[in-house]
Structure 1
Amino acid sequence: MASTPLVTGLALVTASDLLTFLTNQWVMATLVVILAWYGSKFVTNRIRPRLEDRLRASTTNLVLVAFRVAVVFYAFVPFAGLLGFRPQNVLLSFTVLSLILGAVLAPVGRSYISGLFIVYNRPYEVGDMIELVDRDERGYVEDITLGYTKVSTLENAFLVIPNETMRERDIRNLSAGDERIRASISVDVKYEDDLDEACSLLEDAVRSVEGVISDGKPIHVGRSRLPAEPRALVDEFADHGVRITLKYWVKEPYLPAAARSAVQRTAWRAFKDADVEIAYPHTHVVFDETSGQASIELDSRDGEQPADRGKSAEMDSRWE
């Protein structure tokens, strides 16, 4: 019977110590920060699907990151009070800190500001295929943050490009709207060949290539309507032949290189079977009475000296 008060006293002491520990300012501030961190993560995971239905992926990420940063920032206010920060000292501290960060982190700041422009203007989105014009390289956008853009290239390389650089360079978005892309090849045929036959051979050859649009409704480009089927057009009368430009549409933005190679190989075989020759530069040498003179020296194979050695032979030449 005497042990009951002892156990009760120990329990009261333990509860009192626990209450004192929990009411400590540092403990309370730590709990608030932990709750803000995990609570903001839980809330962002719950509202992300709804935002993605209304906003683009990059805008959704920016909104959720800004929300979590704001929640965690306000959660650190109790720590600021424990460390002696007062409202009247915040402005001065913030001004000094801004000057230091402005000098040290200026390049990073420019990249983040460029990230805001990219998110606002939305020249490309996650999942789009873009082309870096100056590098002649294509890839898919994997992620867009305020500081950089991640691009996965068709060569299975991974590029992390600062947004400041992305904003200043020329970028082609190959996935914006219609993913079909127009390509072309040019070939010179001899003046003696039949132009109509050459154009028909090119158009028939490209129709059999996989990935090339052979027919269908006209494709809208701005206010123009361009034919979807391949078209061979006489481009110009070049120095060595008639230049024909074949224009065609490719179904996917990552196919032009492979399709171009297949189209040229098919056209080569079609020309060869139809006896249509591809023009290339020729040099024709003609001798006449206006040509100059050249000395020719002849030696016999058996070591005997020819009778006319040392004599000059006249040689006429003219380039055409």
Structure 2
Amino acid sequence: MERPSFGIETLSGWWDAAVSYAVPRLPETLALLLGGVLAVWVARKTLKRVQRQVVNRTETRLDDHILYFLHSAISFSIFGVSAWLLIHILAPDGPAGEAPRAATWVVALWVGGLFFPLSRFVGDVLTELQGKLIERTDNTFDETAMPLVIRTVKVLVLGVGVVIALDLMGLNIGPLLAGAGVMGLALSLAAKDTLSNLIAGVLLIMDRPFHVGDRIELWTAPNETGTWGDVIEVGLRATKIRNPDNLVVVVPNNLIMQRDIVNYTMTGDHIRLRIPFSVAYESDIEKAKRLLIEAALEVDGVLADPLPLVIVRGFGNSDVQIQLRVWVKEARSRRKIADEITGKALTSFATAGVEIPYPKRELWIRSVTDSDPHPLPGKPGGGLPAPSPTGPHARPSPSDAVTPAGPASREG
């Protein structure tokens, strides 16, 4: 079999065939192209006039986004229709199926391409909505979650456009969707920690257990890890807390959702402070209560209304457990106020003779005399008797010898 030649003669033949086929249809082609360009120009001029007379006079930017979407959609549609007509002009009687197939692909690309300006339009509208929410609300949901929502919606719109375009082309999208599902499952398993943090971040933003600027504490956090302080950022992956040492602690959101969150400033700046104390049983409890209340009222930041309260909480091995309850003006100064109250209470107790119990032992030494009926070992007239050997092999001592009891040895 003779193999086809792809030399200069073949290329020249193709060129001659293309010229002989296209030249008779050149006027129609040029008219179509000029008509398309003219239609785009007229549409642009019309939309600019609408923008000057209507859009620029309004305060909202929503009409600007609508106008931009219409401009992009109309221009793209004109080019799509022109390409579709051009195919039917240049190949009206070509090989069976070529012209319809090419026209179908043009329609598919046109429909899929319309979703690009549509995706941008949806994103712009959601961005405008985000701005309105920021003005009317004081939470961080719109500032943190809305950007993710906007990006997700735009990607979904583009994905729908791609699926529709592939379906119009006659391609089987079933395997593609199945592959996308498998890939999504693999990615979700590989990034499960990140996804759990994102989901927890969305829940935190929606539930709003705290806001930026709140003083919070994570009760189940390990001690001395700096997981209490002021919230400076609530992100989708983690939350940032500035502790009293001016260190920023980044806590993953999924860990925060597993802990007990204590918000000291959500209900206001005034909070009640509880400080435990202990006094000895021999001390005057009422006097200790009075001293604690006086010490608390001397500290700046303690509210006089309601008055501080001291209650008895229980009884220990060597102490009476009492608790001072005071209301403070500023929640962030609770530890400073507790320190000042404790110091003043210690001074007042020492001055008034109120004993603070502490672990101690008292040693009593008894003096021993010769007449002591129970003298200590090693003392005159005393001494413990040496233990007698016991057991089956022990020999009796002379004093332990058994003698027959006669009449003279019996007691009357």
TM class by smaller structure: 0.5 to 0.7
1:71 is paired with a residue of what secondary structure?
Answer: helix
- Residue 199 of structure 1 pairs with residue 289 of structure 2: yes
What are the Cα deviations for residues 278-300 of structure 1, in whole angstroms up to 9, with x where unaligned? 233442222447988466xxxxx
- Residue 106 of structure 1 pairs with residue 200 of structure 2: no
The separation in 2 between residues aligned to 1:120 and 1:150, in whole angstroms, is 17
Q: Residue 309 of structure 2 aligns with which residue?
A: 231
Amino acid at match of 1:246: L
1:42 Cα deviation (Å)?
9.5
Amino acid at match of 1:115: G
Against the structure 1 CA distance between its residues 102 and 68, is the aligned structure 2 distance closer, same or farther, given a 3 Å change threshold?
Answer: closer
Q: Residue 240 of structure 2 aligns with which residue?
A: 150
Against the structure 1 CA distance between its residues 35 and 212, is the aligned structure 2 distance closer, same or farther, given a 3 Å change threshold?
Answer: farther
Q: CA RMSD in A?
A: 4.1
1:159 Cα deviation (Å)?
1.9
CA contact (8 A) 1:294 1:313 kept: no
Q: Residue 300 of structure 2 aligns with which residue?
A: 210
CA contact (8 A) 1:58 1:125 kept: no
The separation in 1 between residues aligned to 2:188 and 2:141, in whole angstroms, is 26
Against the structure 1 CA distance between its residues 74 and 246, is the aligned structure 2 distance closer, same or farther, given a 3 Å change threshold?
Answer: same
Q: Residue 213 of structure 2 aligns with which residue?
A: 127
Against the structure 1 CA distance between its residues 76 and 313, is the aligned structure 2 distance closer, same or farther, given a 3 Å change threshold?
Answer: farther
Against the structure 1 CA distance between its residues 102 and 176, is the aligned structure 2 distance closer, same or farther, given a 3 Å change threshold?
Answer: same
Amino acid at match of 1:53: R
The separation in 2 between residues aligned to 1:119 and 1:74, in whole angstroms, is 25
What are the Cα deviations for residues 208-252 of structure 1, in whole angstroms up to 9, with x where unaligned? 11222222xxxxxxxxxxxx3211223334333433321112223
The separation in 1 between residues aligned to 2:170 and 2:348, in whole angstroms, is 82
2:255 is paired with a residue of what secondary structure?
Answer: helix
Which protein has the bigger helix share? 2
What are the Cα deviations for residues 144-183 of structure 1, in whole angstroms up to 9, with x where unaligned? 2332222222221212222221111222122222333322
From 230, 245, 250, the equivalent of 1:140 is: 230
- Residue 116 of structure 1 pairs with residue 199 of structure 2: no
2:335 is paired with a residue of what secondary structure?
Answer: helix
Which protein has the bigger strand share? 1
What are the Cα deviations for residues 76-108 of structure 1, in whole angstroms up to 9, with x where unaligned? 8888979x9967254233223213212312222
1:35 Cα deviation (Å)?
11
Against the structure 1 CA distance between its residues 85 and 197, is the aligned structure 2 distance closer, same or farther, given a 3 Å change threshold?
Answer: farther
Amino acid at match of 1:269: T
Within-5 A mapping of 1:212-291: 212-215=302-305, 228-288=306-366
1:196 is paired with a residue of what secondary structure?
Answer: helix
Q: Residue 7 of structure 1 aligns with which residue?
A: none
The separation in 2 between residues aligned to 1:117 and 1:178, in whole angstroms, is 23
| TM-score scaled by length of structure 2 | 0.53
CA contact (8 A) 1:203 1:230 kept: yes
More moved, 260-269 vs 54-63: 54-63
- Residue 94 of structure 1 pairs with residue 180 of structure 2: yes
CA contact (8 A) 1:37 1:68 kept: no
CA contact (8 A) 1:40 1:71 kept: yes
The higher relative CO (CA closer than 8 Å, separation ≥ 6) is in 1
CA contact (8 A) 1:114 1:164 kept: yes
More moved, 202-211 vs 34-43: 34-43
Against the structure 1 CA distance between its residues 276 and 313, is the aligned structure 2 distance closer, same or farther, given a 3 Å change threshold?
Answer: farther
Which runs of 5 or more residues in structure 1 are unaligned?
1-15, 216-227, 296-310, 316-320
Against the structure 1 CA distance between its residues 205 and 272, is the aligned structure 2 distance closer, same or farther, given a 3 Å change threshold?
Answer: same
Amino acid at match of 2:189: A
Amino acid at match of 2:153: A
Q: Residue 10 of structure 1 aligns with which residue?
A: none
Q: Residue 298 of structure 1 aligns with which residue?
A: none
1:313 Cα deviation (Å)?
10
1:272 is paired with a residue of what secondary structure?
Answer: helix
Against the structure 1 CA distance between its residues 71 and 279, is the aligned structure 2 distance closer, same or farther, given a 3 Å change threshold?
Answer: same
Q: Residue 65 of structure 1 aligns with which residue?
A: 148
CA contact (8 A) 1:147 1:162 kept: yes
What are the Cα deviations for residues 7-35 of structure 1, in whole angstroms up to 9, with x where unaligned? xxxxxxxxx9xx9xx98999xx99x9799
Within-5 A mapping of 1:293-308: 293=376
The separation in 2 between residues aligned to 1:172 and 1:91, in whole angstroms, is 45
Amino acid at match of 1:165: L
CA contact (8 A) 2:307 2:326 kept: yes
| TM-score scaled by length of structure 1 | 0.66
Amino acid at match of 1:229: L
Which runs of 5 or more residues in structure 2 are unaligned?
1-36, 41-75, 81-105, 384-412
Against the structure 1 CA distance between its residues 236 and 294, is the aligned structure 2 distance closer, same or farther, given a 3 Å change threshold?
Answer: farther
Amino acid at match of 1:92: A
